[in-house]
Amino acid sequence: MAIISFFLWLIVKQPLLSSIIATLTALFAFVPTIRKSWKNPYSETLSSYVINVLRQAITLVAIGTYSIITVINPLTWVFANLALALLLILRRITLKK
């Protein structure tokens, strides 16, 4: 999928589609982390995901020109890291009971 997104950006001149596919590719690669975190929420460092939410939020603020192409990746990672951080918190609470 990464090669396809590169092809779309470089040869076909479709940067939006390329950004979407590249972001989806990275998001699909995040799925095993989500599965592992569900089974063993203590295997991941919660603070790293909270820091990543802040880092991507700062990235969004720092963007000079806003467009779907420039916002899609950091915005996706704000929500993905926030969701995983919440999953870790909720699963840890649930397993303690």
Convert the pLDDT of each residue in 48-94 to its tens digit: 999 999 999 999 999 999 999 999 999 999 999 999 999 999 999 99
pLDDT digits (tens, 9 = 90+) for 21-51: 889 989 999 999 999 999 999 999 999 999 9
CA distance 62 to 55: 11
pLDDT for position 72: 96
Residue that has been written with the tokens 């467009």 in this structure? 67
pLDDT for position 4: 74
Q: Does pLDDT of 19 surpass 90?
A: no
pLDDT for position 89: 97
Instruction: Name every residue whose Cβ is closer than 8 Å to that of residue 73 and which is 6 or more positions away in sequence.
Output: 19, 22, 23, 26
